[in-house]
């Protein structure tokens, strides 16, 4: 049996001292008097002290009981402070969510997810940091973000991860480019040798392309321009600057409207997982857990 007294027994002892009656103390705690008497007896055995002098006129604390009740009062006050502080921290946590997301996820998926989250939690403040996939892990490790989203081919090392969506990259170019008149798909080596409008190194889009070309034995891509967002790459491709490799999410409307044309490529794996990531040992809770659930539900619905 544990030698530590339980908290309800300490509360009972303090009340007996304050009220001078075991029956009134039991009634205030909502327990039957026999149960209260038994609880005090267990407390006395655990401490090896006689704490209560039981007489026909009532129950009074002994000298030892008064000393223990004084210490118990301080323990209970500290416990109340702990519970009050924990509630304040929960309130603060549930009122704010800090998210770090790679640019493709931030531009094309996060707005819908956050819109639904705000309908569930109208008082929630969401701080969104938009960066590339390479920077998201550092924001999580330093505590600057509660939840992250990345578009890397593989989950970042040292983080917990869960897939929330699938995506694939597409080679696109403006109408009239010679590639739009090809009868055969483009080869991986041809793609690597061509000047391309690309995302910057460190982005999930660039990492996916680089990895796919390496696995195909085609070497590194040849940048014509390196730009810091999918929107900038898309606009350059539409303007006819050169072919580009972008997420299907980023160019879906442009393909439908004819502003861009998709170019088939042979033997190149350009699909990827979009993942939620968080610091290990810190399972998402509160609004972070809600956002993760929404993102995964949208994936199943899609």
CATH of the domain at 104: 3.40.190.290
Give the Cα separation of 298 and 182 in Å (integer): 37
Does residue 110 sit in the same domain as residue 168?
yes
pLDDT digits (tens, 9 = 90+) for 198-221: 999 999 999 999 999 999 999 999
Q: Which residues contact 118 (CB under 8 A, 6 or more apart)?
A: 124, 126
From 66, 92, 118, give the residue that closes a domain. Answer: 92
CB-based contact 277:154 (threshold 8 Å): no
> Worst-scoring range by mean pLDDT, 32-36, 132-136, 295-299?
295-299
* Mean pLDDT in residue range 97-110: 92
pLDDT at 85 (0 to 100) = 65
Q: Is the pLDDT of residue 300 over 70?
A: no
The pLDDT value recorded for residue 57 is 73
One domain, residues 114 and 52:
no
In terms of domains, do 68 and 110 share one?
no
Q: Is residue 1 part of a domain?
A: no
Q: Which residues of 55-86 are buried (b: 16+ CB within 10 A; e: fewer)?
A: eeeebbbeeebeebbeebbeeeeeeeeeeeee
Work out the average pLDDT over 272-279. Answer: 94
Residue 1 has pLDDT above 50, yes or no: no
pLDDT at residue 91 is higher than 60: no
Q: Is the pLDDT of residue 302 over 60?
A: no
Cβ–Cβ < 8 Å for 271, 208? no
- The residue whose two tokens read 């491709």 is 237
In the chain, % of residues over pLDDT 90: 61
* Domain assignment present for 2: no
Task: Give the mean model confidence (pLDDT) for residues 2-11.
Answer: 83
The pLDDT, as a whole number, for residue 89 is 58
pLDDT in tens, 106-165: 999 999 999 999 898 888 888 899 998 999 999 999 989 999 999 988 888 999 999 999
Residue range 257-263: mean pLDDT, rounded: 97
Quick one: pLDDT at residue 4? 79
Q: Mark whether 77 and 31 lie in a shared domain.
A: yes
pLDDT in tens, 175-194: 999 999 999 999 999 999 99
* Tally of domains in the chain: 2
User: Both 101 and 84 in a single domain?
Assistant: no
**Exposure class string for 187-226: b at 16+ Cβ within 10 A, else e:** ebeebbebebbbbbeebbbbbbbbbbbeebebeebebeee
- CA atoms lying within 13 Å on the CB side of residue 192: 18
Question: Range with the lowest mean pLDDT among 86-90, 145-149, 196-200, 270-274?
Answer: 86-90
| Parent domain of 291 | 96-302
Same domain, 107 and 83: no
Task: Tell whether 74 and 108 lie within a shared domain.
Answer: no
Mean pLDDT across 266-282 = 91
pLDDT at 90: 64
Q: Residue 226 pLDDT more than 90?
A: yes
Quick one: pLDDT at residue 102? 93
In a domain, 56, yes or no: yes
Res 192: pLDDT: 95
């Amino acid at each position: 049996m544990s030698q530590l007294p339980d908290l309800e027994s300490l509360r009972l002892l303090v009340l007996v001292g304050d009220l001078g009656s075991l029956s009134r103390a039991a009634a205030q705690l909502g327990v039957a008097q026999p149960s209260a008497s038994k609880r005090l007896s267990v407390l006395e055995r655990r401490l090896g002290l006689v704490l209560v002098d039981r007489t026909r006129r009532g129950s009074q604390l002994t000298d030892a009981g008064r000393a223990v009740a004084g210490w118990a009062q301080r323990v209970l006050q500290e416990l109340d402070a702990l519970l009050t502080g924990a509630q304040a921290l929960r309130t603060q946590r549930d009122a704010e969510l800090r998210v770090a997301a790679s640019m493709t996820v931030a531009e094309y998926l996060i707005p819908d997810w956050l819109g639904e989250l705000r309908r569930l939690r109208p008082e929630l403040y969401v701080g969104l940091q938009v960066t590339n996939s390479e920077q998201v892990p550092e924001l999580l490790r330093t505590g600057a973000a509660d939840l992250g989203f990345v578009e890397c081919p593989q989950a970042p090392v040292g983080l917990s991860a869960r897939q929330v969506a699938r995506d694939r990259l597409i080679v696109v170019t403006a109408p009239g480019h010679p590639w739009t008149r090809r009868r055969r798909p483009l080869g991986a080596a041809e793609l690597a040798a061509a000047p391309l409008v690309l995302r910057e190194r460190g982005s999930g889009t660039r990492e996916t392309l680089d990895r796919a070309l390496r696995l195909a034995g085609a070497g590194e891509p040849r940048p014509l321009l390196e730009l810091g967002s999918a929107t900038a790459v898309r606009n350059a491709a539409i303007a006819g600057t050169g072919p580009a490799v972008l997420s299907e999410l980023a160019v879906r409307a442009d393909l439908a409207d004819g502003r861009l044309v998709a170019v088939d490529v042979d033997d190149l794996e350009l699909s990827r997982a979009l993942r939620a990531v968080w610091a290990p040992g810190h399972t998402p809770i509160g609004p972070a857990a809600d956002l993760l659930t929404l993102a995964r539900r949208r994936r199943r619905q899609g």
